A and B are shown apart, each in its own frame.
Chain A
Amino acid sequence: MANATPKPPASPPLLRVQELSKYFVLSVPWLSRVFGRLSPPILRAVDGVSFEIQRGQTFALVGESGCGKSTVARVIVGLYHPTAGDIYFQGKSLEDPSVKASPESHTRMQMIFQDPYASLDPRWRVRDIIAEPIRAFHLARNRAEMGERVSELLLQVGLSASDGEKYPHEFSGGQRQRISIARALSSNPDFLVCDEPTSALDVSVQAQILNLMKELQRRLGLTYLFISHNLAVVNHISDHVGVMYLGRLCEVAPKRTLFNQPQHPYTRLLLDTIPDLDLSGRRRQPVTGEVPNPIEPPSGCAFHPRCPSVGDRCRAEKPLPKPSKDSIVACHAVEECRL
């Protein structure tokens, strides 16, 4: 697979995802299946997605509801089994039996979730929540060591060591996200998957958390896969961006390239929806249609019903990702230089 950047990277990517697919078979009542000969519909949540993340960088996946970005995150982290495709972490495939047997890959990869209220067990004390990975991987020799590590983590995320004794409900949304981050860091991971970590937070709190995440990345050499629907946030925090629509990647590009020279029509549509807080009164292209039902995606290119540059090929043939200038774009119009 061709690289997104013109010059080859100095070291192999930390994470490489290749033709990853995840299909869900939706349940149909048994009687309908037998008598009505109804075959259960297949939801193609992720359909052939490929990208790479270099060590120490932040790769953002953006898209609207039903695009599959959260599913990609969950497959990578092991919550779902991929239907097809491969995930290579530190050069080794995650399906490789030796990798599966050792818990190493689990310690190296952790996840932060969107809902600060549901991501912490309400009955556990904060110190136990943060120590759960330490316990699971036997990373501390005794309780004293574990307690020290927990205190260290609490300080690292901007809370105080005494907060370990409290329960989650005593904290605000932003503080709970900090606790989630502390938990994710407790096993010394290299790679963090962040599923919309600031979407449920107020704007000023969001700024605090994003700053914290950037600082931690710098200090600990972390690599992030950052899922979001908020393009302004993505612009702030990412190095590379992938735009998804109905389970497929439309465009992958370095951040500046994506925001300054977007190529895929859907990327352009998304960028148009970013609120104009400078009140520049910039003209917007009117947006039409809605995201179609992912169970019955349109034929060919999934975006063709809404695309202002739709052509004949678009309705019939699914576009493949091809390098185009600095980016990788899956679009017939771009390939045919119609844009």
Chain B
Amino acid sequence: MGWLKRVIDHDISYSFTRSWVIMLAAFVTLFIIITSVFAPWVTIHDPFNPSSLNLMDAFTPPIWVEGGKWTYPLGTDDQGRDILSTIMFGNRISLLVGFLSVLLAMLIGVTLGTVSGYIGGWLDSLIMRLADAQLTVPPILIALLVNGVARASLMQELQESLAIYVLVFSIGIAAWPQYARVTRSGAMVERNKEYIAAAKVIGVHPGLIMVRHIVPNVMGPTMVLATIGVPLAIIIEATLSFLGVGVPPTTPSLGTLIRIGNEFLFSGEWWITIFPALALVVLVLSVNLIGDWLRDTFNPKLR
């Protein structure tokens, strides 16, 4: 268990325990992740399985309002779906899309950034101009564009089953430039260092040098960017789903839920939209706080 002791003793763990806000944020995030992973077992019913729904329970208000029931702590929607359960299932989609799209963006961005920074020359100029061009357009628009094009080119039947992958793809494409830039500056610094020259003298292939030497040494800032990128990706996905061009209605995310509930906002059933919206805020805020803390922790000048 020596490694555990080293983790606990480490400066990062120390700074972690110094801030109750961060500890709270981490706890909340962990809680959300766990409940969403175990959602099928934790919820009272599967809200997207029509046979488990009871239409008689539709429009039940939250527990503390008159007319609420214990079985539906946050109330139900127009179809009798338990809001709490829909949130937990919605979290799954949001988290899945959030993490996967960031993973894709990192894959593309780190590869292109490393190649760009290490090799330089016209390849570097090409990749950076591509990134610059893309950065002039807001990520949401890019995601919207890619999404639209992908859907138009897919056949109708496939659209639903592939919708999540299309979504991940479009958000990933929208986000790669920043990872590329950060990785590129790191690569440009590392390539002049003498351990790289040593590897060249040995005759190691440039591709191997990039993978084995450069990438591990430039991943630091990228990881921090990723933790801040996940909540951003979740927001983009929520936006797209809210607009109706995100996930299919059979697997709704938080964005879809907000959209569905929107219709009932002014007819008095406020809980159908407010609670998913609150859940989104809490999720994004917690992950964002952790990302901020990570960035400050890894900044050597502040330590």
A interface vs B, CB < 8 Å? 74, 77-79, 103, 106, 109-111, 113-115, 118-124, 129, 132-133, 136-137, 180, 183, 187
Contacts and interface: CB of A to CB of B under 8 A. Distances in A.
Contacts of B213: 121, 124
26 contacts: A77-B201, A78-B200, A79-B197, A79-B201, A106-B201, A106-B202, A109-B201, A111-B197, A113-B194, A113-B198, A115-B194, A118-B193, A119-B198, A121-B195, A121-B213, A121-B217, A122-B217, A124-B213, A132-B198, A132-B199, A132-B202, A133-B202, A136-B203, A137-B202, A137-B203, A187-B202
Most central of A79, A115, A121, A122 by chain B CB within 10 Å: A121
A121 B208 CA distance: 14
A123 B217 contact: yes
Interface in B45-93: none
B80 to A, nearest CB: 55
B2 interface: no
B268 interface: no
B91 to A, nearest CB: 35
Interface of B: 193-195, 197-204, 213, 216-217
Nearest to B199: A132
B33 to A, nearest CB: 28
Contacts of B194: 113-115, 118-119
Contact of B198 (A78, A123, A137, A183): A183
Nearest to B196: A121
Contacts of B200: 78-79
B201 A111 contact: yes
Contacts of A122: 217
B76 to A, nearest CB: 53
Nearest to B216: A123
Nearest to A132: B202
Contact of A78 (B201, B204, B217): B201
B303 to A, nearest CB: 15
Contacts of A77: 201
A73 to B, nearest CB: 10
Given A121-B213, A123-B217, A103 B203 contact: yes
Nearest to B208: A136
Contacts of A121: 195, 213, 216-217
Contacts of A133: 202
A33 to B, nearest CB: 16
Most central of A78, A111, A114, A129 by chain B CB within 10 Å: A111
B110 to A, nearest CB: 15
B220 to A, nearest CB: 10
A111 B199 CA distance: 10
Contacts of B216: 121, 123
A180 B199 CA distance: 12
Given A121-B213, A122-B217, A136 B204 contact: yes
A196 to B, nearest CB: 11
A187 B199 CA distance: 13
A124 B198 CA distance: 14
A301 to B, nearest CB: 33
Nearest to A105: B203
A3 B79 CA distance: 98
Contact of B201 (A110, A123, A124): A110
A114 B197 CA distance: 12
Contacts of A132: 198-199, 202, 204
Contacts of B217: 121-123
A79 B196 CA distance: 11
A173 to B, nearest CB: 13
A114 B217 CA distance: 20
Nearest to B205: A136
Nearest to A106: B203
A78 B202 CA distance: 10
B145 to A, nearest CB: 32
B203 A119 contact: no
Contacts of A103: 203
Nearest to A186: B202
Contacts of A115: 194
Contacts of A114: 194
B195 A118 contact: yes
A113 B192 CA distance: 12
Contacts of A79: 197, 200-201
A1 B128 CA distance: 50
A132 B200 CA distance: 11
B154 to A, nearest CB: 42
B187 to A, nearest CB: 14
Shortest Cβ-Cβ A-B pairs, 5 listed: A119-B194, A113-B194, A123-B216, A118-B193, A106-B203
A108 B254 CA distance: 63
